[in-house]
Amino acid sequence: MSVPLTLLGLLEREPSHGYDLKRDYDTYFGRGKQLPFGQVYATLGRLARDGMVVAGPEPGDGPERKRYAITDTGKDEVDAWLADPVEPEPHLQTVLFAKVTLALMLGKPAAAYLDAQRAAHLRRMKDLTELKRTGSLVDVILADHGLFHLEADLRWIDLTSARLTDLAAALIPEAAPEPDKRERNK
């Protein structure tokens, strides 16, 4: 999640104060990780320095507050960000792949590790399913995103579980099964 670009995007709707921006960010994107006020104002300061927003005092009886507005440069930046596909992030597979590979190399129970990961994924999916039942439509959409990603991970876990014997044979040739046994594992 890019905090500066997300705040910039929120500002494109209408000029806003730091407090309101933080509230909107937390409502739509915070989900368990709220944005500290300090980070909001530091980010807005950098965006102003880079010409993405302009800040002006708002007249009134109360304490002076800065009101931020997006510039044309900032709008171009948001447009470019939105149009740029998100980098696929196969972090889980990378970590899990390393664990499975090392477990096989070390003669440790890779299948049991994958089972534990499968159980953890299913628990998380259950939590997200409950969130869908009780949450707003925004929660539902976010939970769906998480659920589909977890489901993709689970497919990888299932396929890797089915290929463990072959993977062990590829990593440790001396541990390769007899040819007829290998045939069954395909």
Partner 1 sequence: MTTPTVMRGCLIEARDITKSFGQTPALRGASVAVAGGEILAIMGPSGSGKSTLLHCLAGIFTPDRGEVWFDGSRLDTMSEADRTRLRRTAFGFVFQFGQLVPELTAADNVALPLLLNRVSRRAAYKSAGSWLDRLGLGDKGGRRTGELSGGEAQRVAIARALGLGPALIFADEPTGSLDSLTGEKVMELLVALAREGGTTVVLVTHDARVAAYADRVVLVRDGVVSVDMGSATAAAVSARAVN
Per CB under 8 A, residues contacting partner 1 are: 115, 118-119, 121-123, 125-126, 128-129, 133, 147-148, 150-151, 154, 158, 162
* Of residues 152, 127, 151, 149, the one with CA closest to residue 31: 127
Least distance from partner 1 to the Cβ atom of residue 151, Å: 5
For CA atoms 5, 10, 14, 20, give the dihedral sign.
negative
Alpha-carbon 163 to chain mean position = 28
Which residues contact residue 132 at a Cβ distance below 8 angstroms, ignoring those fewer than 6 apart? 139, 140, 143, 144
Comparison of 48 and 150: residue with beta carbon closer to partner 1: 150
| Angle 100-87-8 from CA coordinates, rounded to 5° | 135
Least distance from partner 1 to the Cβ atom of residue 182, Å: 17
Least distance from partner 1 to the Cβ atom of residue 172, Å: 23
Least distance from partner 1 to the Cβ atom of residue 79, Å: 31
- The CA–CA distances, whole Å, from 86 to 2, 64, 89, 134 equal 11, 39, 9, 29
Comparison of 126 and 182: residue with beta carbon closer to partner 1: 126
Comparison of 50 and 115: residue with beta carbon closer to partner 1: 115
Comparison of 58 and 115: residue with beta carbon closer to partner 1: 115
